[in-house]
Amino acid sequence: MLLCDIGNTSLHFYDLQNDYKESVEQFDPASIEEEVYYICVHPKLKKRLYELPNWHNLEEKVDRSRYYDTMGIDRIMACEAIKNGVIVDAGSAITVDVMQNGIFQGGFIYPGARAFEQAFASISDVLAYELPNKIDLSHLPKNTPEALAYGFLSGLVKEINSYDLDIVLTGGDATLLQRHIPKSKVDRLLLFKGMLSVLGKI
Amino acid sequence: MLLCDIGNTSLHFYDLQNDYKESVEQFDPASIEEEVYYICVHPKLKKRLYELPNWHNLEEKVDRSRYYDTMGIDRIMACEAIKNGVIVDAGSAITVDVMQNGIFQGGFIYPGARAFEQAFASISDVLAYELPNKIDLSHLPKNTPEALAYGFLSGLVKEINSYDLDIVLTGGDATLLQRHIPKSKVDRLLLFKGMLSVLGKI
C-alpha cells in the first residue's frame, strides 16, 4: 500500500517506511500497480486519477461536515492527524488550523515566503529582496531586508503562539518557522498520519 | 507656503488649512508659483523637481543618521512627528516604526491589503478573493475569505499592540486598521506634521 499527497507541483509518496517526491509534470500515475490512497489538490491530475482503478481518493472517506465547504483537503488531512493542537502547514501558502478534542475550531491562511517576496516586489522595486533566512525577532530591524523578513514572520509567530496549545509544523518551510517557535515540533509526515487515521489504520 | 508628500501615484498637498491630492500622471509642478516644501519617493518626478527653484526637497534637511540608509523618506517624516509611539502608515505597503524619547527604535514592512490579495491569488485560484472589509478577529474563521482576511490582519494587529506605546495610524487604510486597534488614533496629516517639525515650525 502507498499513500500519496498531491500538491500543485509534486506527488509526495509514503510507503509506511520511506517517503519520496515525484514531479506532477513528469510522473505517470499509471506506472504504479500497487493500491494507492491519495489526496489531490491538482485539478487536472485529479480527473486523470479517477480513471485508474488502483488509485483511491481518500477525500471521499472524510466527513467534510466537520470542517467547511471550501477547505482544502490537505488542511483537513493534517487536522485529522491531531486531536489537540495548532497545525501549521508551511508551503506556498501557510495554513494555521486549531483542533480541540478532535473538533475543528477554525483556521487562517497566510502567504508563504515566496508569495511574500513577490508581494513586496510588486509594491516597489526598493522592496524587491530575497527574504533573509536568519532574522532575530527579539528587536525591531534597522535595514530593509530584515524589515521585510520581520514583517513576514513576527506577527505570524505571535499569532501561532497565542493559542496555548501544542504546535505541530509541517510543509517545506516548517524548519524555518521552528527557529522562531522553539516549543513546536516538526512532523513532515503529518498529512500521511491523517490519511492513515482516515483509513482506520491508527 | 505649501507642503507636499509625493508617493508613487499621487501628490498630497497641505496648505496648513486644507489638504488635497493630485495625480502624479496629470499634475504639472511648474503650475505652482508658491514655495513648496516636499518629500518625494517617485524617482522621475524627483528629478524634474530639482529644476524648479520654488520646490524645496525636505529630505535634505533631515538628519538621516538617526535612521537607516535605505529607509523611505515618508517613513522618516512620520517618525519626525512623534516622540513616543508606534507609527503605522497603511498604504500599498504597511510600515510600522517605533519611536522612544525621539529616538528611532527600528521598524518593519508588511504588504498592504491589495498586495496581500495579489499574493493569495498568485498561490492558487481558490485563494483569489477580495479581502472582506469586516472581519471579527475574536475567533478563528471557518470560510475562505475570512481565513484570508484573518491571516492579513490578526498577527499584524497583535504585533502592533505588543509595544505598550501609543499607536498612531496614517495612510489610506488607517481607518480599516483602527477597527481592530480601538486604542489607536488616526492622523491623516501625520507626515505633514513631521515636515513642519523638520522645518522648525513646531
Model pLDDT for residues B52-109, shown as the tens digit of each residue = 999 999 999 999 999 999 999 999 999 999 999 999 999 999 999 999 999 999 999 9
* Matching residue, cell 513648496: B36
DSSP letters for B126-138: GG--PPPS---TT
Tell me the C-alpha distance between A49 and A51, whole Å: 5
Which residue of A93, A111, A127 is in closest CB contact with B93? A127
What letter would DSSP give residue B161?
H
CA atoms within 13 A on the CB side of B198: 27
* Matching residue, cell 483542533: A99
Domain boundaries of chain A, sorted by first residue? 2-61, 72-188
User: Over the stretch A23-75, which tens digit does the pLDDT of each residue have?
Assistant: 999 999 999 999 999 999 988 899 999 999 999 999 999 999 999 999 999 99
Quickly state the pLDDT bin for B38 (edges 50, 70, 90). very high
Quickly state the pLDDT bin for A9 (edges 50, 70, 90). confident
Say yes or no to pLDDT of B43 above 90: no
How many other CB atoms are there within 10 angstroms of residue B93's CB atom?
Answer: 23
Judge whether B2-61 and B83-188 match in fold: yes
- Best mutation site among B9, B86, B96, B123 for testing chain A: the one with the most A CBs within 10 Å? B123
Give the minimum alpha-carbon distance from B47 to chain A in angstroms, rounded to a whole number. 17
Q: Please give the grid coordinates belonging to residue A68.
A: 467547511
Is A72-188 a domain of CATH 3.30.420.40? yes
Length of chain B: 202
CATH label, B83-188, candidates 3.40.50.1220, 2.40.40.20, 3.30.420.40, 3.30.360.10: 3.30.420.40
DSSP helix, strand, coil percent of chain B (3-state; round to 5): 35, 25, 40
Measured between beta carbons, the chain B residues lying within 8 angstroms of A155 are 110, 154-159
Tell me the C-alpha distance between A61 and A66, whole Å: 12
Q: What angle do CA A101, A107, A112 make, to 5 degrees?
A: 135
What letter would DSSP give residue A143?
S
Which residue of B92, B98, B141 is in closest CB contact with A106? B141
Measured between beta carbons, the chain A residues lying within 8 angstroms of B8 are 124
- Residue B162's contacts (CB-CB under 8 Å, 6 or more residues apart) are A158
List the catalytic residues of B: 74
Helices (H), A15-64: 43-49
> In this structure, which amino acid lies at residue B2?
L
Which residue of A72, A93, A122 is in closest CB contact with B115? A122
Looking at residue A202, its pLDDT comes to: 58
CATH number listed for the domain at residues B2-61:
3.30.420.40
Q: Please give the grid coordinates belonging to residue B44.
A: 522621475
Looking at residue B202, its pLDDT comes to: 58
Contact B108 A154 (CB under 8 A): yes
List strands edge to edge, sheet with B167-170.
B103-111, B93-100, B85-90, B167-170, B185-186
> In this structure, which amino acid lies at residue B136?
D
Residue B149: is it exposed, middle or buried by C-beta count within 10 angstroms (0-12/13-18/19+)? Answer: buried
CA distances from A187 to A149, A193, B77, B157 (A): 24, 10, 46, 29
Global ipTM: 0.94
Say yes or no to pLDDT of B44 above 80: yes
Would you tell me the crossing angle of helices A144-161 and B144-161 to the nearest 10 degrees? 110
List the catalytic residues of A: 74
Contact B68 A92 (CB under 8 A): no
Quickly state the pLDDT bin for A8 (edges 50, 70, 90). confident
* Matching residue, cell 503650475: B31
Collapsed DSSP state (helix, strand, coil) of residue A137: coil
Determine the average pLDDT of the residues in B17-35: 95
Looking at residue B9, its pLDDT comes to: 81
Chain center to CA of A117: 19
Tell me the C-alpha distance between A155 and A21, whole Å: 32
How many other CB atoms are there within 10 angstroms of residue B178's CB atom?
Answer: 17
Measured between beta carbons, the chain B residues lying within 8 angstroms of A143 are 68-70
For residues B191 and B39, is the Cβ–Cβ distance under 8 A? Answer: yes
Looking at residue B7, its pLDDT comes to: 87
Measured between beta carbons, the chain B residues lying within 8 angstroms of A98 are 140
Q: Please give the grid coordinates belonging to residue A40.
A: 489531490
Whole-structure pTM value: 0.93
Q: Which helix (H) or strand (E) covers residue A122, if one does?
A: helix A113-123
**Average pLDDT, rounded, for chain A:** 95
Contact B71 A144 (CB under 8 A): yes
List strands edge to edge, sheet with A167-170.
A103-111, A93-100, A85-90, A167-170, A185-186
CA atoms within 13 A on the CB side of A171: 24
Looking at residue B85, its pLDDT comes to: 98
Please give the residue of chain B at the shortest CA–CA distance from A110: B151
Measured between beta carbons, the chain B residues lying within 8 angstroms of A68 are 142-144
Give the minimum alpha-carbon distance from B32 to chain A in angstroms, rounded to a whole number. 28
Which residue of B108, B144, B157 is in closest CB contact with A70? B144
User: Over the stretch B136-157, which tens digit does the pLDDT of each residue have?
Assistant: 999 999 999 999 999 999 999 9
Tell me the C-alpha distance between B149 and B162, whole Å: 20
List strands edge to edge, sheet with A55-57.
A19-23, A10-14, A2-6, A36-40, A55-57
User: Over the stretch A84-116, which tens digit does the pLDDT of each residue have?
Assistant: 999 999 999 999 999 999 999 999 999 999 999
